[in-house]
A = this chain, B = another copy of it.
Amino acid sequence: MQQVQVERVSLNQITTEQWDVRQAIEGCDRHGVSWISLWRHKIQEVGIQETKRMLQAHGLQVSSLCRGGMFPARTKNERIKRIEDNKRAIDEAAELGAKVLVLVCGASGDDDLEVSRQWVLEGIEAILPYAASRGVQLGIEPLHPMYAADRSVIVTAGEANTLIEHFNSAHLGIVLDVFHIWWDPNIMKEIDRAHGKILGFHVSDWKVPMKDMFKGRAMMGDGVINIKKLRESVEKNGYCGPVEVEIINQDLWNQPGDDVLVQMKERFIEHV
């Protein structure tokens, strides 16, 4: 297998939660990282125009904007509000030239998962024409099943692929994160099924024991995931874009961001 090109590494901003947008952009520049994934709540602190200016000044490109989605809600009014917020996220993604707006589809707002999954479908249906009109690609990110109750009812690549086939749009694809998908007995088949529709690839690792279900992601190489095998499959199926390092981990947040970026690049070359 070919080694990954280090030029593909992208810092997902949540890996350095201790940094604001300015620090993250400057940090990437210092460490020769030319891609970044930005979070909307961080952008709001400085504003979209200032963010754009800093990105251009430092020659950084935006691999993705985090995040849209969160469609299910018990009342119709609330679901409409979520759709409006997704349209604002699409505007922001367009403004920043982000390659994709990541959709974390949202948790069960009802105890019937099927109802929530239907709301996700209706939410995507409502925003997809707008995304197309703004030239923004939407990437459904299936989350690990352990987040079904609080973050996303879309928990397998198979479900994401079924939604993507249903809409059959040039502006809808899948974002694959190894942490969320590595366990799936059907994953190699589903990556093949997603051929040409893969809009992003995220890396971290799964370490046992996991002390915190949200902030327990590990640095690549510290866990059990065969990242190279998944990367090879994703590339074979047409995705050769930026690879985001997205590690939600309190220990990393307690370190100086520069130390995190040094280790991130080393581990990326060795384990991705």
Least Cβ–Cβ distance between A135 and chain B, in angstroms: 31
- A132 at interface (Cβ–Cβ under 8 A)? no
Q: Given A158-B185, A226-B111, do A146 and B145 touch, yes or no (CB 8 Å)?
A: yes
- A159 at interface (Cβ–Cβ under 8 A)? yes
Stretch of A29-37, A39-47, A206-214, A262-270 contacting B (4+ beta carbons < 8 Å): A206-214
Bound complex: CA A39 to CA B43 (Å): 53
Q: Which residue of B lies closest to A216 (CB)?
A: B213
Stretch of A4-12, A91-99, A149-157 contacting B (4+ beta carbons < 8 Å): A149-157
A224 B111 Cβ-Cβ under 8 A = yes
Q: Given A209-B150, A213-B213, do A145 and B184 touch, yes or no (CB 8 Å)?
A: yes
Task: Please tell me which one of the listed residues B155, B213, B223 contacts residue A183 in the complex, with CB atoms under 8 A apart.
Answer: B155
| Chain B positions within 8 Å of A127 at CB level | none
A185 B159 Cβ-Cβ under 8 A = yes
Least Cβ–Cβ distance between A224 and chain B, in angstroms: 5
Least Cβ–Cβ distance between A104 and chain B, in angstroms: 15
Bound complex: CA A164 to CA B209 (Å): 30
- How many chain A residues sit at the interface, stated as a range, is 20 to 34
- A63 at interface (Cβ–Cβ under 8 A)? no
CB-contacts of A179-234 with B (<8 A): 182-185, 206, 208-210, 213, 223-226, 229
- A117 at interface (Cβ–Cβ under 8 A)? yes
- A112 at interface (Cβ–Cβ under 8 A)? yes
B112 A226 Cβ-Cβ under 8 A = yes
- Closest 4 A/B residue pairs (Cβ): A148-B183, A145-B183, A146-B146, A150-B208
Q: A113-B185, A149-B208 are in contact. List 18 more A-B contacts (CB 8 A).
A: A111-B225, A112-B229, A113-B182, A113-B183, A113-B226, A117-B185, A144-B145, A145-B146, A145-B183, A146-B146, A146-B213, A148-B183, A149-B224, A155-B183, A155-B184, A159-B185, A210-B213, A213-B213
Q: Can you offer 12 A-B residue contacts whose CB atoms are under 8 A?
A: A108-B224, A112-B226, A113-B182, A113-B183, A145-B146, A145-B184, A146-B210, A149-B206, A150-B208, A150-B209, A155-B183, A209-B213
| Residues in A lying within 8 Å of B, measured CB to CB | 108, 111-113, 117, 144-146, 148-150, 155-156, 158-159, 182-185, 206, 208-210, 213, 223-226, 229
